[in-house]
């Protein structure tokens, strides 16, 4: 939903890194405490039973959050958008996309995927409850009063309610919530302008954040019974306001660099190695001459194949294989991560994790021919040069 800082990796699902910020571990223990208190009031068993069910409920809820974000991530991947991971943090989870969406339809499909997954989870819990209760009304309070509720029923009711609340909250049309992104896609479709759509959704988000902060202050003022809820809402509102204001500010920024592409800032005469270059020649004419750690490798038609690194070349020469060609050592497995279309807008590079981690990307045309190299320093220089000129 919202952004987050550095995180600790927990696992990988479908090749997507799942991480958690330090704040998530704090929330985890808070949720476990309140979860145990909730189940202690619902179940007739011991405090130990309530605690165990509470822990299970909290972990299943966080699994629900991961599934929600996986919905966003997998649809984004299907749309050709890279995924830099999913992070759990203080207020939920966030799927970190390598770039923004490029059309209203793409924005809508990515935004709506998460809520749809959550809706399926709610429907699954309700369906299981209906089966277990043989179609009877699913009233947890009545079942608890009659002493009929079991840990399984209580757990399913809890998951249905908390995921239902998550679904409803996320559909509020306030950026950066999923509902705000859906609203942005609709305004984008109507106006044809993504920046206008972002401003509209962002301003709604700021207004909604102030409402949350107001409710939070009201609850805090009421007294001790609602202080924690009030603090939670006020802090959540503050984070939403910050993210919404940042989105609105970013539209002015992107408008100033509108029209600048990768081709405008790249080095259009990159030094590249033909794939049939012998290792001894590569070492003498490239690595020793230029003192670079790696070089792009191209085929006879100039198509980018990947990169070759100096340590690998030295390793093969030392092993007595100097006649090998660099095409045989090229790191083709991650070649796609090195590529960027030469006609991509400069904006698409600003949050590019691959550019940040590698320091450079290979600009290619529609046929995969290497047209240039763009570095993170070139992006910084382009921003420094372009922004003052357009602000004047």
Closest to 251 (Cα-Cα) out of 178, 190, 197: 197
Which tops the pLDDT comparison, 343 or 227? 343
In sequence order, what are the beta bridge partners of 83? 97
Peptide bond into 73 cis (omega under 30): no
Residue with the bigger pLDDT between 136 and 70: it is 70
φ, ψ dihedrals at 343, nearest 5°: -95, 10
Do the bridges between strand 273-274 and strand 294-298 make them parallel or antiparallel, or are there none, so unpaired? parallel
Nearest to 374 by CA among 345, 351, 327, 342: 342
Q: What is the pTM of this model?
A: 0.70
pLDDT reported for residue 1: 45
111, 185 in Cβ contact below 8 A? yes
Residue with tokens 């369906």: 127
User: What is the number of alpha carbons within 13 Å of residue 48 lying toward its C-beta?
Assistant: 0
Counting beta carbons within 10 angstroms of the beta carbon of residue 308, is it exposed (0 to 12), middle (13 to 18) or buried (19 or more)?
buried
* β pairing state of 360-364 and 273-274: unpaired
Give per-residue pLDDT as tens, 213-262.
999 899 888 876 677 778 878 888 888 888 888 888 777 777 777 778 89
Confidence check: pLDDT of 281 > 60? yes
3-state secondary structure of 262: helix
Q: At the top level of CATH, which class does the domain 262-391 belong to?
A: alpha beta
More confident call, 348 vs 63: 63
Return the exposure string of 312-329: e unless at least 16 CB atoms fall within 10 Å of the residue's CB, then b.
bbeebbeeeeeebbbbeb
pLDDT tens, residue by residue, 304-342: 999 999 999 999 999 999 889 999 998 767 788 899 999
Task: Select, from the ranges 4-18, 60-74, 224-238, the one with the highest average predicted confidence (pLDDT).
Answer: 60-74
Residue-range domain boundaries for the chain: 8-171, 194-253, 262-391
In this prediction, residue 332 carries a pLDDT of: 67
- How many CA atoms, within 13 angstroms, populate the side-chain half-sphere of residue 287? 19
Cα 277 from Cα 14, distance rounded (Å): 37
The SS3 call for residue 254 is helix
Cα–Cα distance, 285 to 157 (Å, whole number)? 69
Q: Looking at residues 183-198, what average pLDDT do you find?
A: 91
Taking only the tens place, the pLDDT of each residue in 88-123 is 876 678 888 877 888 999 999 999 999 999 999 999
Environment class of 372 (CB within 10 Å of its CB; exposed 0-12, middle 13-18, buried 19+): buried
């Amino acid at each position: 939903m919202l952004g987050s800082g550095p995180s600790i990796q927990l696992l990988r699902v479908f090749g997507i890194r799942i991480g958690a910020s330090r704040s998530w571990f704090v929330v985890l223990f808070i949720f476990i405490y309140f979860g145990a208190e909730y189940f202690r009031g619902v179940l007739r068993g011991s405090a130990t039973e309530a605690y165990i069910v509470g822990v299970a409920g909290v972990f299943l809820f966080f699994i629900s959050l991961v599934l929600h974000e996986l919905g966003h991530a997998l649809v984004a991947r299907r749309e050709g958008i890279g995924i830099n991971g999913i992070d759990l943090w203080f207020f939920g989870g966030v799927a970190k996309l390598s770039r923004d969406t490029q059309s209203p339809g793409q924005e809508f499909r990515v935004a709506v995927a998460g809520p749809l997954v959550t809706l399926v989870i709610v429907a699954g819990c309700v369906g299981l409850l209906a089966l277990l209760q043989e179609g009877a009304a699913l009233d947890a309070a009545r079942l608890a009063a009659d002493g009929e509720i079991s840990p399984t029923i209580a757990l399913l009711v809890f998951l249905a309610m908390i995921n239902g609340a998550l679904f409803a909250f996320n559909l509020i049309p306030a950026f950066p919530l999923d509902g705000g992104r859906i609203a942005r896609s609709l305004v984008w479709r109507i106006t044809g302008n993504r920046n206008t759509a972002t401003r509209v959704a962002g301003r709604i988000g700021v207004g909604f954040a102030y409402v949350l902060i107001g409710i939070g202050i009201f609850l805090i003022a009421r007294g001790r019974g609602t202080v924690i809820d009030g603090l939670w809402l006020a802090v959540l509102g503050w984070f939403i306001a910050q993210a919404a204001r940042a989105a609105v500010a970013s539209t002015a920024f992107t408008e100033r660099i509108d029209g600048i592409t990768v081709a405008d800032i790249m080095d259009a005469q990159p030094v590249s190695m033909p794939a049939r270059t012998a290792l001894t020649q590569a070492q003498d004419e490239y690595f020793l001459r230029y003192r670079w750690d790696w070089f792009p490798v191209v085929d006879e038609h100039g198509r980018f194949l990947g990169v070759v690194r100096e340590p690998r070349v030295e390793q093969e020469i030392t092993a007595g294989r100097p006649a090998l060609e660099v095409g045989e050592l090229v790191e083709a497995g991650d070649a796609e991560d090195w590529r960027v279309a030469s006609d991509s807008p400069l904006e698409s590079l600003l949050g590019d994790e691959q550019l940040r981690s590698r320091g450079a990307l290979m600009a290619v045309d529609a046929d995969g021919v290497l047209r240039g190299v763009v570095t993170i320093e070139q992006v910084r220089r382009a921003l420094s040069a372009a922004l003052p000129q357009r602000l004047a």
